[in-house]
Chains A and B, each alone.
Chain A
Amino acid sequence: MLSAVDLAAIWLTFKLASLTTATLMVVGTPIAWWLARTRSRIKALVGAVVALPLVLPPTVLGFYLLITLGPHGPVGHLTQSLGLGVLPFTFAGLVVASVFYSLPFVVQPLQQAFEAIGPRPLEVAATLRASPWDSFFTVIVPLAKPGFITAAILGFAHTVGEFGVVLMIGGNIPEKTRVVSVQIYDHVEAMEYAEAHVLAGGMLLFSFLVLLTLYSRKGTSVWK
C-alpha cells in the first residue's frame, strides 16, 4: 500500500520531528524560564518574537530563513567559513527551520507551567540548601512535568504538520527533505489520489490521536 518513497518520507518526517523536538526542549526551556521569571522591559519583545511563527505565513518565515541561511546571508557566511557549507536544501537546514517554526509551541506551554509554579518552591529549595541548578532539576522539572509533556507533544506534532517552510527551505529532495506533507502534495500533483489518501488519512489520524491524548490528560491545562 505504501511505496518505498512514501516510507522514506514517513521515516524522514519522524526523524525531523524527533530531532526538532529534542533541540526545542534544550533551546526552549531556558527561553521559557527567562520569560516566566524576568521583570525585564524586553520581555514583551522576546515574547512577541517567539510567538511570530503562530501568525506568520510559513512561506514568509521560510523566505527569510532562506535568505539568512543562504550563501549570501550572515548565517550562510558563518556556516561556510566553518566548512559546513550552506544549510538550505539539506536535512540540517530543515531542522534549523523547524526549530524556529515550532518554537512557540514548546516555549508557551513551558512558560505557563513555570509561571504556575511561581517563585516559592525555589525559595523553599534554597532554604533547604539546594543550589539554583539543583533545585531546577529536583523541584521545577518534576513539578512542571505536565508542561514538558505538553510542550514535547505539541512541538513534535506541529513539526510533522509543517509544509510551507519545508518547501521554501528544503525543497523536495527524496530522503533528505521530502517529508510526508510534501509527498502528499506530489501525489496530488501527479493525480495519484489513492496514494495521497493513504498518507493524508494517516496524518489526519495521527494528528487527531495526538490532540485526543493531550486533551484527555487529567488535571493538565492544555495550551491552545
Chain B
Amino acid sequence: MTADSAIHACFHLDWPGFTLDVDLSLPGRGVTALFGHSGSGKTTLLRCLAGLERQGSGSLRFKGDVWQDSACGIFRPTHQRPLGYVFQEASLFAHLSVKKNLDYGRKRVNGGHKVSLDHAVELLGIGHLLDRMPDRLSGGERQRVAIARALATSPELLLMDEPLAALDLKRKNEILPYLERLRDELEIPVFYVSHSPDEVARLADHIVLLSEGRVVAAGGLRETLARLDLPTAFTEDAGVVIEAVVTSHDDAYHLTRLDFPGGNVVVARRPEAINRRLRFRVHARDVSLTLTRAEGTSISNLLPASVTEIAAADTPAHVLVRLDAHGTPLIARITRRSLDHLNIIPGKCLWAQIKAVALLA
C-alpha cells in the first residue's frame, strides 16, 4: 500500500462528557470495520470523515487529496466530498419515489458514473421497487434503496453507519449477502460501523477498535482479532476468523470440508459450491488442547499447532493461549490448572481440538 492510496485521518473533538481523539492511517481499499461499544465514538468518527461534524480540529487526506486541514483552514463541505453515506435508520426522502431517491444524488454528480444506476439497482435487488414511495417499503427494502442511492453517486468512499442495526435478524440476513457482493465487486474503500462481532467478522478486511473516543487497535482483521492484549471488545467472545475454501462435500455423511492455510475442518453440509470462499469464526472456548493427537474422540477437527503466547482471560480460572497452526492463528481458552498440568509454554507443539465453528454466511 503506497502512501497515496491510503486515507489519513486525524480528528480531535471535545464535547461535554466525550472526547474523540484519533490519528489513523486507513487502507484505501477493502472493508474497514469501525468497531466498539456504543459511546466509543465510531459514529462520530464516521461523521467526521463525511464532514458532518464541523466542530473540533483535525485533518483528512484521502488518497492524496486534502479534504480537511484545520491548521490551514481547509474544510471541504460534505456535498463536495465524493462519498456515499448510509445512515443507521431509513433516511429516504419521504416525498420522492424510490426512483427519484436514486436519481437525487446521481444527477448531482458531474463526470463519469463508474457505478451505473442499473448496476446499483441490480446489486441490491430493488428493480421491482422503483415506482414505490418509501412508506410502502419494508425496513430491509428501505435500507437496500438507501445503499443503492449512495452507490449510484459513484462514490470514491462508502461510509456505512450500522446499516443493519435497526433491522431484525431476518432482514439482516436478507441484506448481508448484498453487502458481501459490494465488498467483492466494488473497488472502493468501505468504512463500516458496527457493534456486532459477527457482522464485522463476516464483512471486514480491516478493523479499527475504538473505546471512549480512542483507537485501541487497528489492523488486518485476522491479526487483530487474534491478539490477546485487546481489552473488552472480544474477551467474552474471544476467537479468531478464518477464511477458507470449500474443497469437497461428503454426501453420505452430509459434511463439507473447508481448507485454509494450516489445515482443514469438516462441518455440516454447506450449500456453497466447491471453490467458494467462506469465513468462519472459531471461539476460544471451543478450542481445547492435547499434547498428543487424540484417538477415540468424537471431535474430528484436529490441527497441529505451536503455542505463541499466553495471556490472562476474562476469569482468574482461565487463560487464553494463542496458537499458530501453520500460518493460521487460533486462540484457545483453557483453565489455568490445565495450563500447568500440561506444562504449556510458548514454543510447545501440540494439537488443537476444535469443537465447533461458527460459519459466517
B-contacting residues of A (Cβ < 8 Å)?
Answer: 120-121, 123-132, 134-135, 138-139, 142-143
Contact = CB atoms under 8 A, between A and B. Distances in A.
Contacts of A127: 50, 52, 78-79, 83-85, 105, 150
A142 B95 contact: yes
A129 B77 CA distance: 10
B108 A129 contact: yes
A136 B94 CA distance: 15
A123 B93 contact: no
Interface in B95-111: 95, 104-105, 108-109
A63 to B, nearest CB: 45
Most chain A C-beta atoms within 10 Å of own C-beta, residue among B51, B79, B84, B95: B79
10 contacts: A121-B93, A123-B78, A127-B50, A127-B83, A128-B105, A130-B108, A131-B79, A132-B79, A139-B93, A143-B93
Contacts of B77: 126
A185 to B, nearest CB: 45
B93 A124 contact: yes
Nearest to B83: A127
A216 B309 CA distance: 73
Contacts of B94: 143
Contacts, number: 56
Interchain residue pairs A-B with the least CB separation, the first 4: A128-B105, A127-B85, A126-B78, A129-B108
Given A126-B52, A130-B79, A143-B93, 20 more contacts: A120-B91, A121-B93, A123-B85, A124-B93, A126-B51, A126-B77, A127-B78, A127-B79, A127-B84, A127-B85, A128-B108, A129-B80, A129-B108, A130-B105, A130-B108, A132-B79, A134-B108, A135-B79, A142-B95, A143-B95
A126 B83 CA distance: 10
A127 B105 CA distance: 8
A37 to B, nearest CB: 14
A123 B91 CA distance: 10
Contacts of B280: none
B153 interface: yes
Given A123-B78, A142-B95, A128 B87 contact: no
B149 A128 contact: yes
Interface string B144-173: 000001100100000000000000000000
Nearest to A143: B95
Nearest to B104: A128
Nearest to B95: A142
Interface in B36-88: 50-52, 77-80, 83-85, 87
A126 to B, nearest CB: 4
A143 B93 CA distance: 9
